[in-house]
């Protein structure tokens, strides 16, 4: 099953900061794990956490470089580009995202990225 078009729409909602649309891609009990941070459990909590993150930026974009699919997961390597509010400088961060699916929605979202260049944003 090709899940990339689904995730492409997920990234579009993410980049537009459209949290209501973004949450529609998640199961009610989704879990987001970001590197060494404690996991975020539940669609509503994930939305709140992403909102706090988005507030710091005027723009965020995701670009996929490579993707691999298994029967229950999609792995994406790419780059995120960030612009802080009030600044012109763009910061590009490489990432690897692992999406696990349940009932045609994201059940687990693992984020691996070195966000050191962004400073303290969490």
What is the pLDDT tens value at each position of the chain, 122 positions in all?
Answer: 789 999 999 999 999 989 899 999 999 999 999 988 899 999 999 999 988 888 889 999 999 999 999 999 999 999 999 999 998 999 999 999 999 999 999 999 999 998 888 876 55
Number of domains within the chain: 1
In a domain, 62, yes or no: yes
The confidence score (pLDDT) of residue 115 equals 85
The confidence score (pLDDT) of residue 120 equals 60
| Residue 85, C-beta contacts closer than 8 angstroms, at least 6 positions apart | 56, 57, 58
In a domain, 117, yes or no: no
In a domain, 24, yes or no: yes
| CA–CA distance, 97 with 72 (Å, rounded to integer) | 14
In a domain, 63, yes or no: yes
In a domain, 119, yes or no: no
The confidence score (pLDDT) of residue 36 equals 84
Query: What are residue 25's DSSP bridge partners?
Result: none
The confidence score (pLDDT) of residue 121 equals 57
Q: Are strands 26-34 and 40-41 parallel, antiparallel or unpaired?
A: antiparallel
Query: What are residue 75's DSSP bridge partners?
Result: 68, 98
In a domain, 120, yes or no: no
Which value, to the nearest 10 degrees, does the dihedral of the CA atoms of residues 111, 116, 86, 17 take? 0
The confidence score (pLDDT) of residue 92 equals 96
Q: What is the pTM of this model?
A: 0.90
- The enclosing domain of 77 has a CATH number of 3.10.450.50
In a domain, 43, yes or no: yes
Domain that includes residue 63, residue range? 4-112
In a domain, 122, yes or no: no
Residues 46, 38 contacting (CB under 8 angstroms): no
The confidence score (pLDDT) of residue 94 equals 97
Would you state the structure tokens that stand for residue 49, as one six-digit string? 């956490």
The confidence score (pLDDT) of residue 16 equals 92
Residues 97, 76 contacting (CB under 8 angstroms): yes
Structure letter (DSSP) for residue 89: -
Q: With residue 11 as reference, give the H or E element that holds it.
A: helix 4-16
The confidence score (pLDDT) of residue 15 equals 93
């Amino acid at each position: 099953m090709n899940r990339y078009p689904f995730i492409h729409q997920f990234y579009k909602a993410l980049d537009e900061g459209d949290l209501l649309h973004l949450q529609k891609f998640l199961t009610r009990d989704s879990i987001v794990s970001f590197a060494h941070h404690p996991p975020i459990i539940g669609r509503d909590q994930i939305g709140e956490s992403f909102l706090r993150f988005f507030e710091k930026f005027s723009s965020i974009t995701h670009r996929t470089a490579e993707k691999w699919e298994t029967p229950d997961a999609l792995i994406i390597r790419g780059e995120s580009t960030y612009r802080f509010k009030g600044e012109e400088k763009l910061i590009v961060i490489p990432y690897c995202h692992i999406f696990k699916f349940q009932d045609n929605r994201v059940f687990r979202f693992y984020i691996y990225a070195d966000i050191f260049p962004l400073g303290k944003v969490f």
